[in-house]
Amino acid sequence: MPNSSLTTLTARGLLLDMDGTLVNSDAAVERVWRAWAAEHGVDFADVLKVVHGRQGYSTMAVLLPDRPMEENHADNRDMLARETAETEGIVPVPGAPEFMAALAALPHALVTSADIGLATARMDAAGLPMPDLRVTAESVSASKPDPEGFLKGAVELGFAPADCVVFEDSPAGIEAGRAAGMRVVGVGERAAELEPTAHVPDLTRIRIEALPDGAIRLHLTD
């Protein structure tokens, strides 16, 4: 592959974001949030700058800084219902089915800003298996870019943060992974300029190797 380079990382556990990393839900997210922006008089271009990777109430707090947080949480419940029902156009990120199959017997967890209902709807729509271990919106008190979700994921897997690698696509998610003291593989165009530890255009560029001592070696081609 011309002008490509290979990066190798070794980890004990992998922590996987969902939207933009495993599942391409951009069309569904943008339909729902475009309607929200119109309802609240917010420029949709401003929404796009912050919506990816965050819980809805956190996005609202950035866009409507003077609105009481309890209103954001109430609005977020409505948005979750809308997003859970909006599955048209949701597809796996290229290489996601093979990537998840390669991880099936290896330590990994989903760490997503979606709640369990939304996560299940989107993983099902994309035809991807739901990991046995997952940290969803119900599991944390703070949204990405806070590192709480990734730190909880590491605890669930039983590994130190330094032994985990995060897969993320958004600025909020990459910031959260770094703040957790983890290495971050950036996936997709959004992640390319965010200075992750390594970057891949999609999941077809990753080869998973299970090592005899139980560690996981990642072979990444950019």
Q: Cα 59 vs. chain centroid, distance in angstroms?
A: 15
The amino acid sitting at 28 is A
Catalytic pick among 19, 26, 115, 163: 19
User: 114 with 18: CB under 8 angstroms?
Assistant: yes
Q: Which helix (H) or strand (E) holds 83?
A: helix 69-85
Q: Cα 22 vs. chain centroid, distance in angstroms?
A: 8
- Rounded CA-CA distance 79/57 in Å is 9
- Rounded CA-CA distance 123/129 in Å is 7
Q: Is 17 a catalytic residue?
A: yes
Is residue 149 helix, strand or coil?
helix
Which residues sit opposite 15 in a β-bridge? 109, 166
Catalytic residues: 17, 19
